[in-house]
Amino acid sequence: MKRIINEVGDKLKANDYKLTTQRQQILEVLLESKDQHLSAEDIYTLVKKKAPDVGLATVYRTLELFLEHDIIHSVNFGDGRKRYEYGHSSSGHHHHHAICLNCGKIIEINEDLLEELEKQVGIDYNFTVTDHELKIYGYCGECNQNNK
């Protein structure tokens, strides 16, 4: 974690920003929750446990700063809440999400399932694909079990 924090600090410094204590605390929450998809409010709640002086506006501003500098990326699952994950959106590897319509569980799918489709779209339509996002909706194993 320390290596990532140093890298983020260097990246911000190169762009004339500082990794303040509050920004670092927000980054730490994202790193500690890397398998979750946290909203700004979720992040705020977790940061408040460590640093009661951090305000919600600071969390929002920091998330926008991190997005702007490709430190995190955001995902919208159609529930009206933007979720955040640590990681670079331009890293070349995409992961996808399976979303349970009953309980809201979000399962990450790490295989890049659309690589061949991107290539074909590029060829067939003379189109340069820069990004994609795949969301699969259905029911998780636990909800399937409960509905039987």
pLDDT at position 90, please?
47
First to last CA, the chain: 43
d(CA 49, CA 59): 14
Q: Is 140 labelled as part of a ligand binding site? A: yes
Q: Is 97 labelled as part of a ligand binding site? A: no
User: Taking the complete model, does pTM exceed 0.75, yes or no?
Assistant: no
d(CA 31, CA 25): 10
Residues of the chain with pLDDT below 50 are: 89-91
pLDDT at position 88, please?
56
Structural domains in the chain, CATH included, are 2-86 (1.10.10.10), 96-146 (3.30.1490.190)
pLDDT at position 148, please?
65
Q: Is 132 labelled as part of a ligand binding site? A: yes
Q: Is 94 labelled as part of a ligand binding site? A: yes
Q: Tokens for 7?
A: 């890298």
pLDDT at position 93, please?
53
